Structure 1
Amino acid sequence: MSGVRNRPRDAVNPLRQLTIDQLRQRTSLKWREYPADVLPLWVAEMDVPLAEPVARAITDAVARGDTGYTAGTAYPQALAEFARRRWGWDGLAVERTALVPDVMHGVVEALGMVTEPGDAVVVNCPVYPPFYEFVAHAGRRIVEAPLGGDLRIDLGALADAFQQARAGGRPAAYLLCSPHNPTGVVHTADELAAVAHLAARHGVRVVADEIHAPVVLGGARFVPYLSVPGAENGLSLMSASKGWNLAGLRGALLIAGPAAAADVARVPFGTSVSTSHLGVIAHTAAFRDGGEWLDALLAGLDDNRRLLAALLAEHLPAIRYDPGQATYLAWLDCRALGLGDDPAAVFLDRGRVALNSGTTFGTGGDGHVRLNLATAPELITEAVRRMALAVA
């Protein structure tokens, strides 16, 4: 691969510990979807080794033959302690949680509790594409509430969407992405309290996808939706999947506010027991013992955000990039390049760089791409070099 050399191991930054040759040996989606000459900076997998506490927990379980059905409350207890340490939130009650196979299946479970087929689900576009796919598959319909020009929640647009969603008196839900994917925006306590107030006024139930909550920069503060005034009947989905790269070890938690305890209690036993036992062991270890590894990752991601901003300013100044405070994803506005609605197709065809197409993120996504920052600095440098050549 032109411009990319193998790198020595780095004892601190997980993003610098694997060589390109090692990454090419992976059989997961990120590294197998495209031909070997394509640099994959698309789907939300990180180019990191497994955190040692997580690897140890899994290998110990395998050595014991502990591969049956999952049981117990170790996972929510570990997350509750993590929430106290990291977010200063002590409102995660273990008895108001349920295991679900992963966050998006938990979202569908939650939507099934608070809406009926044909009801509306409000989303803030542009937003994570599976919101559209899973909502449609669940037989619900999307109502978009576009983000504002600053890429933050537009409360006026949200109120209008709530009113539209509740037309005829039918139930409706608001699928909140917090932190927001793809923009990396971290919603403030005031913003979330305003959301809760609007939802209560319009009779809309809030389901918060908070999967990226651990991946928040120093200086920014993640606020759990269920911690704000008025969110008592809200539902939240959390997991260690994004923070520790555990997409292949599935397991998530559906968490209820005090007034939604009856909802979460209705999660079928079959749904909870379908969660991977090894996944639960991995996520528990991550939240309980993976803090030092996560801190090193966050420092590396912060460096990568600055690097990408500098590279774009030098080589592709027409691209607008406002670094987010969370996630490891960069939302790039490429409209000034004149590449049409789908610049990702141009970067793939001409530059052999795979990025996510903004067109799949709903209204506001045309002309944009999403770039995965969770890789080595050398690969980001190479990706921008290729992108610049693609439009030269």
Structure 2
Amino acid sequence: MDIICDLVFNNPYNNLEISDDIELYYTNQNSPVIAPNSTATGQRSQKIKKLTKSLLSTSCENNCNYCPFRANRDFRRKTYTPDEIAKAFMSIYQHEISDGIFLSSGIINGGSKTQDKLIETAEILRIKYNFQGYLHLKIMPGANTSQLDRSIELADRVSVNLEAPNNQRLKILAPNKQFSKDLITPIKWLNDRFKNDPYKKGWKNRWPSLVTQLVIGPAGESDKEVILASHELINHYHLARIYYSKFVPQKNTPLYLSPPTSSKRTLRLYQASFLLRDYHYSPNDIIYDKYDNISLYEDPKLTWAKINLINNPVEINKAPFNQLLRIPGIGIHGAKMIVQQRKNNSIKKIEDLKNMGITSNQFLPFILLSGKRLEYQLSFSNRYFQDPTQDV
């Protein structure tokens, strides 16, 4: 019972994971076990997935300066066997408390031995218990290639956590870790594996998605550093997602006196990363202040549009798909609907857009309908605008 309480009630990291690239998996009763979660942009999918985040051990031989589980921090540690974690999770899963599991651990006796324990837990779930649901498996620093190979055969998602956007910042957060050897090397190996062996599939006959996490704030990194690193990870290594973890100071750690990170900052970074990943923006399209940070006060897509589109509005009836994506309030689905509608009839009024499900008013100052702006649109934009490079 104690382990179930730890997994469900006493786990500060047991929350929803954003997984918008995970496909729906259906049981024999045609009910979804796995569904993509809502995203930081406010889009919502069919079902919010409940994820149990588990640690095999809260002991760790590393001394990351921000981490509550660092080796030199004095607190009571707990360690469970792979069988204990698997058995406890299956009880939670069968009672429909959780839809999936994230397996991680503090590092004990090196990353390779810890990875063996994580793989053993995943094997017990998949083979002994025939668990068909969502499994996110952490890759430990120091895991070897055979362990990477087995991990991607078992998981729906694997993660290699960079923690920082570059080596300089990592030294502040985690002086024991080597940015290239411990973190970039396994990401590169996994990307090459997926790319060069597309016909060998993992669990559910597809390769798992690959993600990472960056801890935002305590290393003093700028948003521009984060965005440049994110762009490289998304475009070069094909990561499905980058998680931006806001820093929360932990007592009895070297970074305890550092200020906590604003939720608004991580929100803006998520929005910017979606622009890079899904909307064909480059890092140079993101607008930064003089400190190379994104404004906390508005969506970076809106900031870009205020500078680039207010005097060059987009003609809805002629603009190509990628240009439609640049208009605030119009997403991928909305742009597809516009292109489809134009094949039959021109779009003549705002209500036509509303009828397509494009309900946000954000697009109003940035569009033309048959070469014209609507009269009320101009008065709307006068009330709406301020200098987007200035914080308020």
- TM normalised by structure 2 equals 0.28
- Normalized per residue, the structure richer in helix is 1
Higher Cα radius of gyration: 2
- TM normalised by structure 1 equals 0.28
Higher relative contact order (CA 8 A, sep 6+): 1
